[in-house]
Structure 1
């Protein structure tokens, strides 16, 4: 499965606890040769290492270990690594397995054995690939595209595509006389834009998403001035012609810079919200504070650096960082990745989760949040 299949319902199901052990494999993959030739070998090595960890784990009976290893091997057999993207995530537990191809590169290979699957890579990929709309148009045609990450699919609903029947005899006459009223100055062309605007308003009313609009500059200006002015709410415009009849791959390439800007804007907006929270004394930072706020359901916004993970020991209800080889003992339970648990808890209480670049939150322990309320006293 791919990032586009990651709905809220799917993520909620993946976050549910499983009978121990739930195994997650994370493998950065390659799209092109020669690098992609190593991916099957690296996956086989990860599965072998997961098997060794399960064999050495006293909490895993032999029958359970055999079942989970069988699930990992079935996933490996079902995978077609010819069509990899940037990251492969394999999930396996007793009686189940699945795998995800993500259009977002993980920092390192990982094997996580826990009571739940590691979902942060899936969450981050979905955040980066939030659905959006793209409108491409010219004087004769308008098309609506549903986007998620790098994938675009043309929509045939809400009245789209919108076609404008051109009077060829009038166009030929205008061409001979030089009286060309292009640029949306004639009433028929303006009515075409009103129709596009009306259908676009229906789209956003039923399925609100960020909107990108692509067309020639004079068309963008004209569309913004007609009907309900729906296009004025576009988060980005792409002043480029020739896209009304282009293939999805061509449209995607044209809007790529605008889409990247949307992602940057979302991160910047999150950082501004954190600054505002400081002024209201609703700001928390560091894994201890943020983890507790997430567990209490108080987080409205969680911001975390891309590659931040922390193995901790819970002592007296507080997480304390430990070495990678630490194990649970009488002094406290060890959690493999408290950051992932924090992300899951935030999502369970409908907080916004935003992943930001490295070192952006260096002064706040690499993780911070804005809370809905603070405790009195």
Structure 2
């Protein structure tokens, strides 16, 4: 899932947009109950659709059967901590697994219940790892401690012959140079990466020999954010090897980025465009005044929604899970979703990094 897909999922649908969310287990024997729980949830979907006077019976059947087909295609080997299913009129069906637990529920509304997807997407470090080589260039989708090879927009990418590369393209001045085919190959690589990054902007880690990295810099021209570099030839390296190499590079980038965030917050404070602490930040974000929300990665907080719709955050020392009418499991996730609704930026930092800002801070638009 990328940023563009998440944005598309969050737009309004015709009623009923059906959301099915269920916590899952990665391993046996706990995962043996998952199919039973999922069948029970689908039975609840069917009952609620059939009992809803606003839903024609033909539409109810179509939505239910679409979810049934999606469930049949699920592979238990892909299970994570949660399963999310969406279906909407017109045959629209989506299936996602998330790496954090979700609350089991069925929701019929004019929008999909995307909050858990938003939380999973925003709280996990995401980056691209580009492995350059003369023979084959690979792009990896980095999400936290997981690397998955990208297989779209021509990746993994092999070079064209010189004749094929020149036809229909403007050749560089050094076309007769022996390096020309490699430079053209890097140009194709950069163009493909830019297309992918346009849908889901992330920092890029570059792996390759120094010569290939120099060609990349020349072609990219500063249009991509380079998080760091891994020197050497890693064309055939497996994901675990690349992850070990990328981890310190990514940590160094995150450290620098966090220092930059602190500088931005202090500048905003001087301009009187700053707020800190959940009780100061919450109303400003809900009014659409948030430009850049900065949150500690592990900050979660329950809350209560009053009869007037106003959310009152609870003390984070409240033991256990809070339950009851009007309870919001996590005000912080709710806040993040509102920030994205208004087109604002969200940045997560290490736990303890915002100790002087009460764990959450906001740069306001005005």
TM-score normalized by the length of structure 2? 0.65
Q: Does 1:161 align with 2:161?
A: no
* Contact 1:267–1:354 (8 Å) recurs in 2: no
- 1:235 aligns to 2:233 (yes or no): no
Tell me if structure 1 keeps the 8 A contact 2:352–2:359: yes
How many pairs align?
325
Distance 1:117 1:292, change over 3 A: farther
Query: Deviations for 1:334-370, whole angstroms, at most 9, x for unmatched residues?
Result: 5554433322221122212234444544665543322
What SS does structure 1 have at the residue aligned with 2:150? strand
Offset from partner CA, 1:160-219 (integer Å, 9 cap, x none): 523689xxxxxxxxxxxxxxxxxxxxx96654554445445545665555333222xxx3
CA contact (8 A) 2:300 2:331 kept: no
Deviations 1:42-85 (A, max 9, x none): 56458769999xx9xxxx89814997996898388436342225
- Please list every run of 5 or more consecutive structure 1 residues that lacks an aligned counterpart in the other structure: 166-186, 329-333
Task: Tell me, yes or no, if structure 1 residue 143 matches structure 2 residue 137.
Answer: yes
Match of 2:291 among 288, 294, 300: 300
Q: Give the SS at the match of 2:137.
A: strand
* CA displacement at 1:100 relative to structure 2: 0.7
Question: What's the secondary structure of 1:123's corresponding residue?
Answer: helix
Q: How far apart, CA to CA, are the structure 2 residues paired with 1:263 and 1:301?
A: 19
Task: After TM superposition, give the deviation of residue 221 of structure 1 in Å.
Answer: 5.3
1:134 deviates by 0.7
- TM superposition shift of 1:236: 1.8
Equivalent residues of 2:23, 2:104 under 8 A apart? no
Provide the rounded CA distance (Å) in 2 between the counterparts of 1:276 and 1:43.
53
Native 8 Å contact 2:229 2:249 kept in 1: no
Q: Structure 2: 5+ residue runs without aligned partners? A: 163-175, 315-320
Where do residues 271-282 of structure 1 align in structure 2 (5 Å cutoff)?
A: 271-282=262-273
Aligned to 1:27: 23
Q: What residue is the counterpart of 1:324 in the other structure?
A: 322
Map of 1:152 onto structure 2:
149
**How far apart in 2 are the matches of 1:227 and 1:339?**
38
The whole-number CA distance in structure 2 between the counterparts of 1:100 and 1:126 is 12
Task: Please state whether the residue corresponding to 1:101 is helix, strand or coil.
Answer: strand
Q: Distance in 1 between matches of 2:87 and 2:154?
A: 40
Alignment of structure 1 residues 25-174 onto 2, 5 Å: 25-27=21-23, 29-30=25-26, 35-42=27-34, 44-45=36-37, 63-64=51-52, 74=68, 77-78=71-72, 80-91=74-85, 98-102=94-98, 105-106=99-100, 108-111=101-104, 117-127=112-122, 128=124, 130=126, 132=128, 134-137=130-133, 140-145=134-139, 147=141, 149=143, 150-153=147-150, 157=154, 160-162=157-159
- Radius of gyration: which is bigger? 1
Give the corresponding residue for 1:182: none
SS across alignment from 1:110: coil
Three-state SS of the structure 2 residue aligned to 1:290 is: helix
- Residues 222 and 207 of structure 1, relative CA distance in 2, 3 Å threshold: closer
Q: Distance in 1 between matches of 2:128 and 2:8?
A: 22
Cα pair distance change 1:39/1:207, threshold 3 Å? closer
Question: Displacement, 1:301?
Answer: 1.6
Deviation at 1:327, TM superposition (A): 1.5
CA contact (8 A) 2:299 2:359 kept: no
**In structure 2, how many angstroms separate the alpha carbons of the residues matched to 1:195 and 1:141?**
13
Describe the shift of the 1:283–1:156 C-alpha distance in structure 2 as closer, same or farther (beyond 3 A). closer
* Residue 341 (1) aligns with residue 334 (2): yes
Say if 2:127 and 2:204, in contact at 8 Å, map to a contact too: no
Secondary structure of 1:327's aligned partner: coil
Verify the 8 A CA contact 1:75 1:90 in the aligned structure 2: no
Q: Does 1:286 align with 2:277?
A: yes
| Contact 2:285/2:338 (<8 A) preserved | yes
Distance 1:251 1:111, change over 3 A: same
Shift of the 40–346 alpha-carbon distance from structure 1 to 2, 3 Å rule, reads farther
Query: What TM-score, normalized to structure 1?
Result: 0.63
SS of alignment partner, residue 104 of structure 2: strand
